[in-house]
Amino acid sequence: MDALRVVHDQRRSHDLPAAPYPARCTLEQYRQLFVHLNIGRAFLSSAIVATLVTVCAVVFNSMAGYAFAKLRFRGRERLFGWLLMA
């Protein structure tokens, strides 16, 4: 029931007893989030960071996977164990 409060009219969101369904659905609270709190900028920043971290992880892990699969070197088993634990 509380999940429906975000689409309630703001003036009626704290009425008691709470109505189970909004009389008029509105997305005003979401608009206020994007306009007043600049949350769109935070989403963009998070998406950029997540993309960069993912690309770096894929590149690094691809190179490490190739090295462990094709190359034989001293300490390979121990290093592979440490990589799996991390």
pLDDT digits (tens, 9 = 90+) for 2-11: 555 555 555 6
Which residue ranges make up each domain of the chain? 1-37, 39-86
pLDDT in tens, 18-36: 666 666 777 887 787 788 8
**Average confidence score pLDDT of the chain:** 81
Cβ within 8 Å of residue 66, ≥6 positions away: none
Closest CA to 22 of 36, 40, 3: 3
What per-residue confidence (pLDDT) applies to 84?
87
Tell which residue, 50, 7, 51, has the closest CA to residue 29: 7
Backbone Cα Rg of the chain: 25
Query: What pTM did the predictor assign?
Result: 0.56
Element spanning 54, H or E: helix 39-70
